[in-house]
Amino acid sequence: MENEAAQKDYLTYPQGFSNLAEDLELPYESKEQREAYLWTIIDGLIKM
Amino acid sequence: MLMADSSELRAYRTKLFRDALEMKKPERVPHLSYAVTWKIFDAGHKLGQALHDYELMEQIVREHQQKYQFDAMTDYGLRNPYRVSEALGTSFYEINDENDSIFYRTDFTFCSNEELDQLAANPKKFMYEVMMPRKYPNFNGSMPARQFQRVVEEKQAFAAYAGHINQVMTEEYGLPKYVAPMPGMFLACENLFNIVRGIRGFSMDMRRDKGRLHAVLDALSEAFLTPSIEKLLKMPKGPNPDYCFDGQLFFMAHTVMNNRQYEEFQWPYVKRILDAMVASGKHIRIYVQGRMMDRLADYFKDYPRGYFAFHLEGDDLFETRKKLPNCALIGGIPADLLGHGSKKECLALTQRLIQELGSDGGFILSQDKMLTYRNDANPENLKAICDYVNAQ
């Protein structure tokens, strides 16, 4: 999750979203849980 | 009423709410605090500091309950997680500590009329690729993961505060748990009105672009409402007696709709939610901004008794009770009266509300709107009402 990761595409959906969920330190292990958690954050940011 | 410990007090208060909600005669009318940022001023602090300092916010929330002794609070300083959005470099709230004001920027639309087809085609993709960068300019192609990691960390700090303050207020102060965990009920019109299109854009779409608006409402509902209803219907049936309410909804978009538009754009989705609530035996609080029941009460009159509690901002509660004898009512005390009326006027209204609406159940006393600004309540008026209710 450092410089190397910064070069990745994070801004497209669904691929960039999946990349971001993979690179972040999140309190879940499985891909499904990590993406669901990240989506709750994105959804919250949009509604905020 | 003397209680042996906080768990006994919590059970007593929870039952007050459940009885009122289910239209049973309660031991006394429950009193709900709808104070949000007003608590900060009342405790002698500034918005900017309190909204960024969870330890200070905890102290403010504790003081609010110690001083007024409500039966439940809608907000423990959790309504606006500013630090989370600020970690991405943007806040849509403007806080001014010189004049104690807080404003949400409403002069913004995240989706133009021309983009409605794109939104309908894939709501999640549009939210992620178009709305996020518009709302948060740092969410761009060069954003490193470590910048978003700060958002995650703030989200976790916020969740930790939420868990802690809920435990404190429950275990130390005997306050009931407020709303039971439930899948979020998404209302597409509210989403377009409040966030995606804004008041002006949504109003124009209803008048000039009905076809595309219907497509967007259906797409958003399929993406975000249908899965929630499916989850709800799989949950254990019946109310969760550990909480005051099983869920809550907020109605605001009706304020820009005429009756025909409400029937066409909003009601089909509201009906899906209310029908699912009844089918699953859940009892919910519905906050209604502005006025609604003077022209739209008929939509709710045939639902079974005791499922819905309408927290009314602008409607007359006494008139609404005649139209909706099947629904509980919440509110009754206007912020304007609390802020600018006399103690005598506040107490007279409280007495009348309790006698006429609450003696047989179906009424929860509260403020008519979120107490936000310093002048939304005179502390002496609020204290007098609380003392009166607690002496019943």
Q: pLDDT tens digits for B305-364?
A: 999 999 999 999 999 999 999 999 999 999 999 999 999 999 999 999 999 999 889 999
Confidence category of residue B193, pLDDT binned at 50, 70, 90 = very high
Average pLDDT over residues B247-274: 98
3-state SS track over B180-238: CCCCCCCCHHHHHHHHHCHHHHHHHHHHHCHHHHHHHHHHHHHHHHHHHHHHHHHCCCC
Question: What is the rounded CA–CA span in Å between residue B383 and residue B347?
Answer: 10
Nearest to B136 among A2, A27, A45 (CB): A45
Provide, rounded to the nearest whole percent, the portion of chain B with pLDDT above 90: 88
Specify the pLDDT at position A8: 79
Specify the pLDDT at position B356: 96
* A24 inside 8 A of chain B by CB: yes
Cβ-based neighbours of B147, under 8 Å, separated by 6 or more: B88, B138
Inspect the interface and report whether the beta carbons of A20 and B145 lie closer than 8 Å: yes
Res. A5: pLDDT tops 50: no
Res. B32: pLDDT tops 90: yes
The more confidently predicted of residues B39 and A47 is: B39
Average pLDDT over residues B368-392: 96
Tokens of B215: 């497509």
Res. A45: pLDDT tops 80: yes
Of B1-10, B116-125, B155-164, B323-332, the one with minimum mean pLDDT is B1-10
The answer to whether B117 and B212 have CB atoms below 8 angstroms apart is yes
Ramachandran region, residue B290 (left: φ > 0; alpha: ψ -120 to 50; beta: rest): left
Give tens-digit pLDDT for B233-246: 999 999 999 999 99
Specify the pLDDT at position A1: 52
Average pLDDT over residues B98-109: 76
Burial of A1 (0-12, 13-18, 19+ CB in 10 A): middle
Average pLDDT over residues B210-215: 97
What's the ipTM? 0.91
Burial of B65 (0-12, 13-18, 19+ CB in 10 A): buried
Q: Which residue of B has its CA nearest to A47?
A: B195
Specify the pLDDT at position A2: 47
Q: Which residue of A has its CA nearest to B125?
A: A13
Specify the pLDDT at position B90: 78
Give tens-digit pLDDT for B55-94: 999 999 999 999 999 999 999 999 888 899 899 887 777 8
Q: Which residue of A has its CA nearest to B140?
A: A11
Nearest to B144 among A6, A16, A46 (CB): A6
* B105 inside 8 A of chain A by CB: no
With beta carbons under 8 A apart, name residues in chain A contacting B129: 11-13
State the pTM of this model.
0.94
* A4 inside 8 A of chain B by CB: no
* A46 inside 8 A of chain B by CB: yes
**Number of A:B CB contacts under 8 A?**
79
Q: Report the b/e string of B294-316 with b at 16+ CB within 10 A.
A: eebbebbeebeebbbbbbbbbbe
* A18 inside 8 A of chain B by CB: no
With beta carbons under 8 A apart, name residues in chain A contacting B94: none
Q: What is the mean pLDDT of chain B?
A: 94
Inspect the interface and report whether the beta carbons of A47 and B195 lie closer than 8 Å: yes
Distance from CA of B383 to the nearest CA of A (A): 32
* A13 inside 8 A of chain B by CB: yes
Question: What is the rounded CA–CA span in Å between residue B209 and residue B213?
Answer: 6
Among positive and negative, which fits the CA dihedral A46, B102, B252, B248?
Answer: positive
Q: What is the DSSP string of B67-133?
A: HH--SEES-SS-S--HHHHHTTT--SEEEETTTTEEEE--S--SS-GGGHHHHHH-HHHHIIIIIHH
Specify the pLDDT at position B106: 63
Specify the pLDDT at position B381: 98
Specify the pLDDT at position B108: 73
Question: What is the rounded CA–CA span in Å between residue B163 and residue B9?
Answer: 20
State the pairing for strand pair B363-367/B328-333. parallel
Specify the pLDDT at position B160: 97
**Cis peptide preceding B304, ω within 30 of 0:** no
Among positive and negative, which fits the CA dihedral B59, B165, B72, B170?
Answer: negative
Give tens-digit pLDDT for B146-181: 999 999 999 999 999 999 999 999 999 999 999 999
Specify the pLDDT at position A17: 96
Nearest to B146 among A1, A8, A47 (CB): A1
Give tens-digit pLDDT for B213-231: 999 999 999 999 999 999 9
* B155 inside 8 A of chain A by CB: yes
Task: Give residue for tokens 């309408």.
Answer: B310
Res. B103: pLDDT tops 80: no
Distance from CA of A45 to the nearest CA of B (A): 6
Tokens of B8: 């006994």
Q: Which residue of A has its CA nearest to B195?
A: A47
Res. B98: pLDDT tops 90: no
Inspect the interface and report whether the beta carbons of A5 and B155 lie closer than 8 Å: no
